[in-house]
Structure 1
Amino acid sequence: MSVLSRVRAAHDRIEAVDRPEIWIDLRPREEVEAEARAIDERVASGARLPLAGRLFAAKGNIDVAGLPTTAACPAYAYEPAADAPVVAGLRAAGALLLGTTNLDQFATGLVGTRSPYGAVRNAHDPARISGGSSSGSAVAVALGIVDFALGTDTAGSGRVPAAFNGIVGLKPTRGLVPTEGVVPACASLDCVTVFARTLPEAEQALAHMTTGTTPSLPGRPPGPWRIAVPPLDQLGELDEGWAEAYEAAVRRLSAAGAQIRALDLSPFTEAATMLYEGAFVAERYTAVGSFVDKLMSEGGEGLDPTVAAIITRARDIPAHQLFADQDRLTTLRIRALSELAEADALLLPTAPGHPTLAEVAADPLGANARLGRFTNSTNLFDLAAVAAPAGEVNGLPFGVMLIGPAHTDERLARIAALLQPPAYLAVVGAHLTGQPLNPQLLSLGAVLDRTTTTAPVYRLHALETTPPKPGLEHVGEAGASIEAEVWRLPAEGLGRLLTALPRPMTLGSVELADGSRVPGFLCEPSALRDAQDITRYGGWRSYLTSAEVL
């Protein structure tokens, strides 16, 4: 599918879901379509754009040239002179930005309701919160409008919305992704994060967001992953069914070969209370306090009252309390890292529960404090984290979080992949059983699931490539059924195929004879112009054994 077609489909999706509270500003449609045409032309001319066709959104506290940066406060808005580096890196790789998304004002909150642009409702249950502060970004991904979206994370804002909306959230090591061009919440703790529906998609985006300065760590001895798990009684009160869902995630990792070991969670939960209840919240006043004071003196129009109260209250915290809290945090961090020393990752529920909009409205501070029980300490301790889906409870997404020392981002992603259900891939050419590229699938742990055909809406073309391979084209009523194999493989394996896929092949949704859809290899339209149509043979293998080839 061309980039232009994907942009038009995204705008159709925006209209269909009718969730205006997701967005603060959408780029003008004609501008986005013109950029899409330009990307299509560059790809057709041979330009290497690894993210060509990927649509994304950016949280409204991240600079996007041509759109105001509001941080969800209209009076604060300014016109940035350029994209934030993280946005620029993604666009340089061919990704196309649709707009900026809603958030808890000044990135202050984990609920997604503290915004004059409206409370962002959950993607699965509109009566529940989406999670904040990166609320709009997470819901835009979960509803299938964009492929990935940028958020920020100070207390858990790149992870709680992922858990509540059934998607992946990567919170990288501090400093791995630049924060220039981002309105700070707590500048010393802030991280730019990425949401996606799958781990491979999130990792692919993150690869174009980093500074490229990740230090190398000494390798760990070979062996099974070592996963730290606290006693259930240290998790505190959880929503109904959440303890069972968490234990199921532990069993899933154990069944995948991980070693489960005990950990004392108390230094993590003690530090978590310090982020808002201690002196560290004063940094939020440093970021925007003078602006909030001025706006309050003028009547406070557009200020969220809960956010304003948090920021202005931080103004009067005495300096001696900050130094005392720093000393206490150092002690807690030493204890926490000691607990993690013999483990590759700590597994936790991302949040202790999923409140409704009404419950948050009734107790905005208490509900928010509860949501940060497991996430608040991560950046205080300078740790990395991955939030990943881990099933459902009562029909709603349940998510877990893997936490590890700084610069263990890739390790955490590999462990998180073990929690994901297997992926399915439809192949019609050189990856078929016995064909030259089939060993690629086998090396990724793929297993043949079934042999079938596509729906009768495709045409098959012989491409001039090495090794020879066909190009599958969706044409609708003018098409035919094509022989296909469906392979089952680890989700991580599908991600590796995606990131290494050579042009002119693309990964898209392939409709099968039974009406189901699975990811499969398609072909860029530009590669089909001079290719031979071999649809009449019904499949690649039949063509290879035909008299025409022999």
Structure 2
Amino acid sequence: MTVWITRVAPTEPRPGPLHGLTMAIKDNIDLYGVPTTAGDPRNTMPAATSAFVVDRLIEAGAVPLGKTNLDQYATGLVGTRSPYGAPHSVFSDLHISGGSSAGSAVAVASGEVDFALGTDTAGSGRVPAAFNGIVGIKPSKGLVSTTGVVPACRSLDCVTVFARTVDTARRAFEVMAAYDPADPYSRQLPQAAHKQGPQRIGVPDKPLGLDPLHEQAWSEALDQAAKLGDVVPVDITALLETADLLYSGPWLAERWLAFGDKLDDDPAVDPTVRAIVRKGAALTASETFAGFDRLAALKRRSEPLWNEIDALLLPVTETHPTLAEVAADPIGVNSRLGRFTNMVNLLDLCAIAFPGPARTDGLPFGVQLLAPAGHDHQIIDLAAVWCGEQPTTPPPADGVLLAVAGAHLTGQPLNNDLVLRGATLAFEARTASDYRMFVVPGPLPRPGLTRTTPPVVGLGIEVEVWRLPTEELGGFLSTIAPPLAIGPIELADGTEVLGFVCTADAVDPSQEITASGSWRNYLGTGSGT
């Protein structure tokens, strides 16, 4: 069973929240100095840099041990479409591991690493978790950067994390989630507030057609869900219809755009991958827009669901195929495995897969929780309680609101000064219209805000407003270097919060950047780097 494509010698871990944890990296994600094969042995060029997310994890103390096997070009949910071999489930050498993040899941489940990176376009961060009895977090789209990731469907791809516990997966996820200006699909996505009281857990209101052993485990899972919250039967027809769209229309053409030039008749190319993706070359523009229209209609139909529930509980798959079954019907079996997973990224949902009740034959049975984008922490906490672990502590409601406009923004160099003090992003806003922004001197580029006198009407400056525990304010103030200070800032809606201000006599008029409207816009010009 080939789990690894490339092994690397461990390095001395850096200090940080993941100090000493070992990780595996799916081989469609760059690691400096190692080829990124994407499951194609013809790709032999060592990566010139590590992926954005890999750099963040290494900086946080994680230690990479190598690159793992996958369905070629991340196209598959079976884990068998690789010239490097087909990993099997750690529970059975007759049953598939699930794909496309096959090697990453098996490396975690077998105990070779503490956590592993995968990707999930159609379910590849959840199906392998289900088939190996581990946890898989599929973040909201854009929450984790895909810079340095070989694309499958670039508009849908998500970097995921596998671990044996929810806590370990969450620790890695919290480091991974960061805004990346270099990734056009990266987005700033504040997390929804922690919900107090019982959760409303949606479950399908009709039978799902699971195989008998899965059905029995699912029945037990429903009983367990009733112990954790209020179970609400819901209609998931629109979600299942959305799942059928993924391997048709725009998204199959997007795969062709991403790597169609690699799909020649070379024996290194998996024939099933070639057969699936080549269909994307023939799709017309009108068929593409028809697909977008159909998705928009299904999104609208599915929206009322989230007024009824806080999270949706589903099986990850309807069965657990054998290697022989996949060999006999590689496309048909794969299609059935995506029935409960394909729709998640299309509908802009987040998800977490985790072990449900085991099947009576000893194979694992995986369940998943889905919720709208930005509810990642909510479903991670619910999964933790299900698995007998502690959820995170909700942020204090009485913390200090602090507006940041520069180096403390999400993804910027000093953001950890807030995060490590327990601060949480409350909301995004603009200042009142009469603030101006300047680049101020210091050890790294940073902006200073001043208020004009007399007022000059503008659009205001983009800020993030963070909630900082009151007891942490004094320590945080000690980190602020002149000419910046903390003082009152008025937001566009008239609300007054604390924030970074700069005295008017300490700014250089030639360094005014108000016209940029935000620090990120200014950095995007190439200045201030």
Tell me the TM-score normalized by structure 2.
0.70
Partners of 1:268 and 1:113 lie apart in 2 by 27
Partners of 1:376 and 1:290 lie apart in 2 by 25
Q: Deviations over 1:507-546 (max 9, x none)?
A: xxxxxxxxxxxxxxxxxxxxxxxxxxxxxxxxxxxxxxxx
Partners of 1:177 and 1:392 lie apart in 2 by 31
Q: Out of 92, 102, 107, which is 2:59 matched to?
A: 92
Q: Out of 265, 268, 291, which is 1:325 matched to?
A: 291
Equivalent residues in 2 for 1:301-320 (5 A)? 301-320=267-286
Partners of 1:218 and 1:194 lie apart in 2 by 21
Equivalent residues in 2 for 1:125-524 (5 A)? 125-211=92-178, 214-216=188-190, 219=193, 222-233=196-207, 235=208, 237-256=209-228, 258-292=229-263, 295-296=264-265, 300-393=266-359, 394-421=361-388
SS in 2 for 1:57: strand
Q: Deviations over 1:104-155 (max 9, x none)?
A: 0000000000000011111110111000000000000000000000000000
Q: Is the 8 A contact 1:232 1:243 kept in 2?
A: no
> Which amino acid in structure 2 is aligned with residue 316 of structure 1?
A
SS in 2 for 1:396: coil
Partners of 1:136 and 1:109 lie apart in 2 by 13
Partners of 1:215 and 1:71 lie apart in 2 by 29
Partners of 2:307 and 2:334 lie apart in 1 by 30
Identity %: 50
Q: Is the 8 A contact 2:191 2:377 kept in 1?
A: no
Measured after TM superposition, the shift of residue 211 of structure 1 is: 0.8
SS in 1 for 2:137: strand
Partners of 1:111 and 1:421 lie apart in 2 by 29
> Which amino acid in structure 2 is aligned with residue 319 of structure 1?
A
Q: Deviations over 1:285-324 (max 9, x none)?
A: 00001232xx33xxx1200000011111210111111101
Measured after TM superposition, the shift of residue 251 of structure 1 is: 1.8
Partners of 2:329 and 2:44 lie apart in 1 by 29
SS in 1 for 2:170: helix
Measured after TM superposition, the shift of residue 158 of structure 1 is: 0.2
Q: Deviations over 1:237-268 (max 9, x none)?
A: 21222222222222212213x11112111111
Q: Is the 8 A contact 2:71 2:77 kept in 1?
A: yes
> Which amino acid in structure 2 is aligned with residue 375 of structure 1?
T
1:122 paired residue number: 89
Measured after TM superposition, the shift of residue 231 of structure 1 is: 2.1
Q: Out of 11, 23, 40, which is 2:4 matched to?
A: 23
> Which amino acid in structure 2 is aligned with residue 251 of structure 1?
D
Q: Is the 8 A contact 1:228 1:340 kept in 2?
A: no
Unaligned runs of 5+ residues in structure 1 are: 1-18, 43-47, 424-439, 441-550
Partners of 2:335 and 2:97 lie apart in 1 by 16
Q: Is the 8 A contact 1:229 1:263 kept in 2?
A: yes
Q: Deviations over 1:355-400 (max 9, x none)?
A: 0000000000000000000000000001000001112102011110
Partners of 1:378 and 1:412 lie apart in 2 by 14
Q: Is the 8 A contact 2:143 2:189 kept in 1?
A: no
> Which amino acid in structure 2 is aligned with residue 71 of structure 1?
A
Partners of 1:291 and 1:267 lie apart in 2 by 35
Partners of 1:148 and 1:357 lie apart in 2 by 25
Partners of 1:156 and 1:119 lie apart in 2 by 18
Q: Is the deviation greater in 154-163 or in 115-124?
A: 115-124
Partners of 1:287 and 1:221 lie apart in 2 by 39
Q: Is the 8 A contact 1:55 1:148 kept in 2?
A: yes
Partners of 1:221 and 1:388 lie apart in 2 by 21
Q: Deviations over 1:174-226 (max 9, x none)?
A: 01100000000000000000000000000001111111565335647643101
**In the superposition, relative to structure 1, how do residues 176 and 186 fare at CA in structure 2: closer, same or farther (>3 Å)?**
same
Q: Deviations over 1:399-443 (max 9, x none)?
A: 1000000010000011112221469xxxxxxxxxxxxxxxx9xxx
Q: Is the 8 A contact 1:249 1:419 kept in 2?
A: no
> Which amino acid in structure 2 is aligned with residue 141 of structure 1?
V
Partners of 1:77 and 1:151 lie apart in 2 by 20
**In the superposition, relative to structure 1, how do residues 303 and 180 fare at CA in structure 2: closer, same or farther (>3 Å)?**
same
SS in 2 for 1:76: coil
SS in 1 for 2:235: coil
2:40 paired residue number: 73
Measured after TM superposition, the shift of residue 78 of structure 1 is: 2.6
Partners of 2:248 and 2:210 lie apart in 1 by 22
SS in 2 for 1:369: helix
- Compare the two structures and name the one with the higher helix fraction: 1
Q: Is the 8 A contact 1:151 1:193 kept in 2?
A: yes
Partners of 2:63 and 2:241 lie apart in 1 by 42
Partners of 1:163 and 1:350 lie apart in 2 by 7
Measured after TM superposition, the shift of residue 278 of structure 1 is: 3.5
SS in 2 for 1:98: strand
Q: Deviations over 1:40-86 (max 9, x none)?
A: xx6xxxxx422111000000000001110000001133321111011
1:108 paired residue number: 75
Tell me the TM-score normalized by structure 1.
0.68
SS in 1 for 2:143: coil
